[in-house]
Amino acid sequence: MSLTFAPSAKDALPLTLVDKEGLEDFTASLSAPHAAWLAASGFRAALGAVVVFPGKEGAPEAAVVGLGDARARSRKRFGVASARAKLPDATFRLVTDLTGPALDEVALGWLLAGYRFDRYAKKSAPKAMLIAPDGVDAARIEAIAAGEALTRDLINTPANDMGPDELEAAVRTLGDTFGAEVAVTTGDALIEANFPLIHAVGRAATRAPRLIDLRWGTRGPTLTLVGKGVCFDTGGLDLKPAAAMGLMKKDMGGAATTVGLAHMIMALGLPLQLRLLIPAVENAVAGDAFRPGDILTSRKGLTVEINNTDAEGRLVLADALALADEEMPDLVVSMATLTGAARVAVGPDLAPFYASDGMDADALRHAAPKVADPVWELPFWAPYETMIEPGIADLDNAPKGGFAGSITAALFLKRFVTDTDRYLHFDVYGWQPSAAPARPVGGVGQGARALLEALPGMLKL
């Protein structure tokens, strides 16, 4: 599957975008037969609505897609993308007055509408192709689409085919593609290398836990991405009920998102030094599983009381973040499918984030609407610090009471980033629960495009 634009073609058919306000003028510009066809079709320029105009021989000659009105567009991202599957097998060229982010959204949505996860069953993809519209950076849009497709593929793959081994293989393939170095610490070597929390969470699984470490770039500012790679989460000894376990193949969605973002960064050749850290584990049940009530010592030296083995993601991230912090990069970013509390707060569509630097938060808020990647800031709320301090140990991995679950998890992670001035954390969902334009049901990236858009300003690239 290749999410790319079509090469230029002289016989490409015009594909005109028309909003409700412009429908009357557009109709007046048509030939009499086409105007009559449009009227007979009942076209009202609703967002994503399509009319194909036949030529004299009956073959498609042109098409029009509705843009709706401002309200419709505000309620549905990538609305134009839904038109792709309704168009015939032909190559089109876009006719529109759209520019800037609005045009970029149309172009990216078109490519993402071609995504299909067909590893286990054949699925038909739309046959309509689009020449890259004038005014868009085609190479950039294609790189973003490829990174998003990689993220989706990783999340969609079930745990029997996407365990720590396969996640490592995916990162190694990415490294080979872009000339990055990849080092991996596996199994009991984690103890020797002082990653005790990663080892503790993953030791009960038959597939060994590991820390995957990719490095790319030799100049520019330093960026370290840390992605939660829990390839399946049973909950451990605090076993999840069946209904809660059904989507746990996506618990490595943070890792998948950072892998997709790393693809975008390297494909675009951003002038920075990238490090990608993924603690890859399976939280399983066995005789040597870590237990409720255990007190574990982290790489940072902080002790953690385990009050719920189902709060394992913050544990593996803690060791990886401690390692990232030792180099004091210009920016550390963690991404994780960390808490159900985040979904209760903002639903599946928004990616909550936390920022230790207000200017970084401002940059993300400004960038997100430009790339149709909505985010929402939540606070590192210092008065809640006592909620993660159990008294018997430095930290509690699962505070009682049920309040502010996403915030207390973020505060937990922040305790492991002490020497680096700028830290961002995303508590993503990583899953599209119902089909939407350019986003079928299944794995989805969140926050990556917003961060990619914001990075040049953040890091002064």
Q: Is the pLDDT of residue 313 over 90?
A: yes
**Rounded (5°) CA angle 243-248-254:** 145
Q: What is the mean pLDDT of residues 28-44?
A: 96
> What DSSP state is assigned to residue 90?
S
**Tally of helices (H runs) and strands (E runs) in the chain:** 15, 19
Out of 76, 77, 172, 240, which one is annotated catalytic?
240
In the chain, the amino acid numbered 246 is G
13-136 — its CATH code? 3.40.220.10
Q: Is the pLDDT of residue 404 over 90?
A: yes
User: Domain residue spans in the chain?
Assistant: 13-136, 141-459
- 413/253 Cα distance (integer angstroms): 17
Residue pLDDT, tens place only, 112-138: 999 999 999 999 999 999 999 999 999
pLDDT at 233: 98
Binned at pLDDT 50, 70 and 90, residue 402 comes out as confident
Q: Is the pLDDT of residue 270 over 80?
A: yes
Domains 13-136 and 141-459 belong to one CATH topology: no
Binned at pLDDT 50, 70 and 90, residue 2 comes out as confident
pLDDT at 20: 97
CB 408 within 8 A of CB 378: no
pLDDT at 287: 97
- 225/321 Cα distance (integer angstroms): 9
> What DSSP state is assigned to residue 119?
S
pLDDT at 1: 63
Residue pLDDT, tens place only, 79-99: 999 999 999 999 999 999 999
Share of the chain above pLDDT 90, in %: 98
For residue 432, CA distances in Å to 89, 293, 441 come to 27, 35, 5
Residue pLDDT, tens place only, 169-202: 999 999 999 999 999 999 999 999 999 999 999 9
Out of 93, 275, 300, 314, which one is annotated catalytic?
314
pLDDT at 56: 85
User: 141-459: which CATH topology?
Assistant: Aminopeptidase (3.40.630)
Binned at pLDDT 50, 70 and 90, residue 401 comes out as confident
Q: Is the pLDDT of residue 276 over 80?
A: yes
Average pLDDT, the chain: 97
Residue pLDDT, tens place only, 329-357: 999 999 999 999 999 999 999 999 999 99
Known catalytic residue at 240: yes
Q: Map residue 147 onto helix, strand or coil.
A: helix
Q: What is the mean pLDDT of residues 19-37?
A: 96
- 152/162 Cα distance (integer angstroms): 12
pLDDT at 393: 98
In the chain, the amino acid numbered 436 is A
Of the candidates 405, 411, 224, the one whose C-alpha atom is nearest the C-alpha of residue 320 is 224
CA Rg, the chain, in Å?
24
**In 97-235, where do the E strands start and end?**
129-130, 181-186, 210-216, 222-227, 229-233
